[in-house]
Amino acid sequence: MVEKWRLLDTGLRDAFYNMALDEAIAIARSKKLVPNTLRFFRWETSAVSIGYFQSMEEEVDIEACNRLGIDYVRRRTGGGAVYHDRDGELTYSLIVNEDHPLISRDFQKTYETLCSGIIRGLRILGVPAEFKPINDIIVDGKKISGNAQTRSMNVVHQHGTILRDVNPTLMFTVLKVPSEKIRDKMIKSVKERVTSVKNYLKREVRFEELKNALIRGFEETFNIKLVPGEVTDFEEQTAIKLKMEKYSTREWNFKR
């Protein structure tokens, strides 16, 4: 029988809730309250997330964010700073028990395995995506998806971005650049290094179409059935608490 995983689509939520719910699902999974889960989500308002080890002041132009109404949050995963555009980005999380056959003790291998579902999904759409170590998915040599992973409580949590559309100008308004002089140069270089489903296919791809392709990609690659489900009360309560006590606090966001 095909293994069943839960599919969540939590739509547009704020950055602090989004990060809190990811951790809440991981906690629920570790307590065996919920099955392995694929979650899709988006960001409202648009937001910047930084990796666990990054410094908020060094990576993010806080003033620009405040002026533009863009949230900023520290992730529980390592990796780099990411601008999450409300209309351009689809974000996913996978929360999987560590003893699952898809999970290797080797982090690099696990990235490649978990990303293979996304790659298959993108190929279904006609985007010839490939894995690029350490944690990227590229097409035509340009990045289309960035991913980050952590493990705790016997649970692997990987989340990442898939660019439906991309706005390099805004990206470098909110992320710090070494100097103003090279801002334009960096925007140009991002245009050469980053792409999106829309850029590649030269057509508008709606979020629903993208999600459906990714669902198929994961189902076929992992040999699973994704069953639409709901966030449980335990997860919701835990997420609200984590949002209040962790992800929305200055203490957490500015701790490094």
Partner 1 sequence: MFKAEYKVEGGKLIKVQLEKKDGKIDFIKITGDFFMHPEELIEDLEKTLIGCPLDETKITKAIKDFIKRNRVSLLGVAPEDFAKCIIKAGGGDG
> CB burial class (10 A; 0-12, 13-18, 19+) of residue 82?
buried
State which of positions 92-131 bind partner 1 (CB under 8 A). 107-108
Q: Identify which of residues 24 and 156 has a Cβ nearer to partner 1 in the complex.
A: 156
Which of residues 183 and 256 has its CB atom nearest to partner 1 in the complex? Answer: 256
Q: Does 150 bind partner 1 (CB under 8 A)?
A: yes
Our finding on whether 55 is near partner 1 (CB under 8 A) is yes
Q: Does 134 bind partner 1 (CB under 8 A)?
A: yes
Residue (150 or 253) nearer to partner 1, CB: 150
CA 142 to chain centre: 17
Do residues 37 and 29 touch, judged by C-beta distance below 8 A?
yes
Kindly state the tokens that stand for 189: 């270089």
Nearer to partner 1, 122 or 137 (CB): 137
Q: Is 20 exposed, middle or buried (0-12, 13-18, 19+ CB in 10 A)?
A: buried
Q: How far is the CB of 12 from partner 1 (least distance, A)?
A: 27
Note whether 221 binds partner 1 by CB under 8 A: no
Q: How far is CA 181 from CA 161, 186, 215, in A?
A: 29, 10, 43
Q: Return phi, psi of residue 204, to 5°.
A: -75, 125
User: Which tokens belong to 127?
Assistant: 């985007």
Least gap, CB of 26 to partner 1 (angstroms): 13
Kindly list the residues in this chain that would bind partner 1 in the complex (CB under 8 A): 51-55, 58, 76-81, 107-108, 133-135, 148-152, 256
